Amino acid sequence: MPPQLPFLPYATQSIDDEDVEAVTAALKSAWLTTGPLVSKFEAALASTTGAKDAVVVSNGTAALHTAMHAVGIGPGDEVIVPAMTFVATANAVLYCGGRPVFADVEPDTLLISPESVASLIGPKTRAIATVDYAGQPCDYEALYDIVAGRNIPIVADACHALGGHYRSRPVGSVADITAFSFHPVKQITTGEGGAVVSNVEEYSARARVFRNHGITTDHRQREQAGSWLYEMVELGFNYRITDFQCALGISQLAKLERWVERRREIANIYSELLGDLAEVRPLAVRAGLGHAFHLYVIRVLAEPGGAGRARLFHYLRGKGIGVNVHYLPVHLHPFYQRTLGTRPGLCPVAERAYEEILSLPMFPAMKNSDVHRVVETLSEGLADS
């Protein structure tokens, strides 16, 4: 029997000794939570993203909920959300009592379609959620042209795009408020973790209160002020993140630029090798952007209707290659069909894409030989039919 090659996941974290030492030091410090490393991580994130302020929270979904709250989403409000995303983007609207309205995506990038957004804006539209799908920033210029003069903020779900750029601006300083996730599959990790960043002081202030039960001061601020009094001014949540997670985040963030650079190298190798295969097509990459390549997504064109993709998925999984599918369009989930009455046909471009997409392994610790192995196995899988 030939030696079994190691399983290659679609994404995984990179943790080194420096990270471990940073976490260990935090665990031995006086503060396990609401301590100085929280603000230190926030300052580092603000600096990386070019935003005025960052508020770190317990996960990316909490970040989205916090962002929707910060821009004031409430009952009766509609938020336009792309159909091609993880459910959390739309769920965050529901958490605030609002209603997600699903926009279709552009066929070549799977980013929210500005034309679709323009056609869905109505009197109840209170925000637009964008998703920098796979790590590529959306067409913010077109989107801001649409909302110009309308007082409709753009809430970016940039859980895929930390380290990316829109033209010369880092992701985090493009939308009105931006949410990140630090789940292990993302660009940097804190185990579970997330953040909202914004240039709008009112949004950051509301986010800070919301993540701490709706209370205006935290434990350390009261200790520093020598005061016991705290006031709850609105209904918030405990969305805090610990200091030892922030220690990991600070240590990881220092490596972000190098890792995003490596993700781009891997994407270039994929694109070059896949150029020879007529049956698959990578998503388009727009000019003038810094793609952060959380995912490397191809469309499997062999056999329409999803049969080719399904076969290739099982073939690659059988060969130890952890391909995945991102995502089943949100409006097709049973919950959404049941509660909002959404149906197939609502977002045809996203639905068609769903039948064809496959995410190939993409993480900075991948070797070039791993990338070659993925493409060779993929070619075998296509020839196998």
Ligand X SMILES: *Cc1c(COP(=O)(O)O)cnc(C)c1O
Q: Which residues are catalytic?
A: 186
> Are the CB atoms for 197 and 172 separated by under 8 Å?
yes
Provide, rounded to whole angstroms, the least separation between the CB of residue 60 and ligand X.
2
Provide, rounded to whole angstroms, the least separation between the CB of residue 158 and ligand X.
8
Q: List 125's β-bridge partners, or say none.
A: 78
Q: Please report which helix (H) or strand (E) contains residue 360, including its range.
A: strand 357-360
Q: Please report which helix (H) or strand (E) contains residue 251, including its range.
A: helix 243-253
Structure tokens at 342: 């959404």
Closest to 184 in 3D by CA, of 194, 199, 173: 194
Chain position whose Cβ is nearest to ligand X: 60
67/269 with CB nearer ligand X: 67
Provide, rounded to whole angstroms, the least separation between the CB of residue 89 and ligand X.
5
> Are the CB atoms for 62 and 50 separated by under 8 Å?
no
Per-residue exposure over 353-377, b if at least 16 CB sit within 10 Å of its own CB, e if not: bbbbbbbbbbbbebeeebbebbbeb
- Would you tell me which residues interact with ligand X (CB under 6 A)? 59-61, 85-86, 88-89, 131, 157, 159-160, 181, 183, 194
Provide, rounded to whole angstroms, the least separation between the CB of residue 157 and ligand X.
5
Provide, rounded to whole angstroms, the least separation between the CB of residue 304 and ligand X.
27
Handedness of CA 36, 38, 43, 47 (dihedral sign): positive
**Which residue's structure tokens are 């799908």?**
133
What separation in angstroms does the CA of 132 have from each of 20, 162, 187, 196, 305?
A: 30, 10, 13, 15, 26
Structure tokens at 372: 């070659």
What separation in angstroms does the CA of 344 have from each of 104, 229, 330, 350?
A: 12, 53, 11, 10
Q: Environment class of residue 330 by beta-carbon count within 10 Å: exposed (0-12), middle (13-18) or buried (19+)?
A: buried
Provide, rounded to whole angstroms, the least separation between the CB of residue 57 and ligand X.
9
Provide, rounded to whole angstroms, the least separation between the CB of residue 128 and ligand X.
15
What single-letter amino acid sits at 265? Answer: E
Kindly report the number of other CB atoms within 10 A of residue 226's CB atom: 6
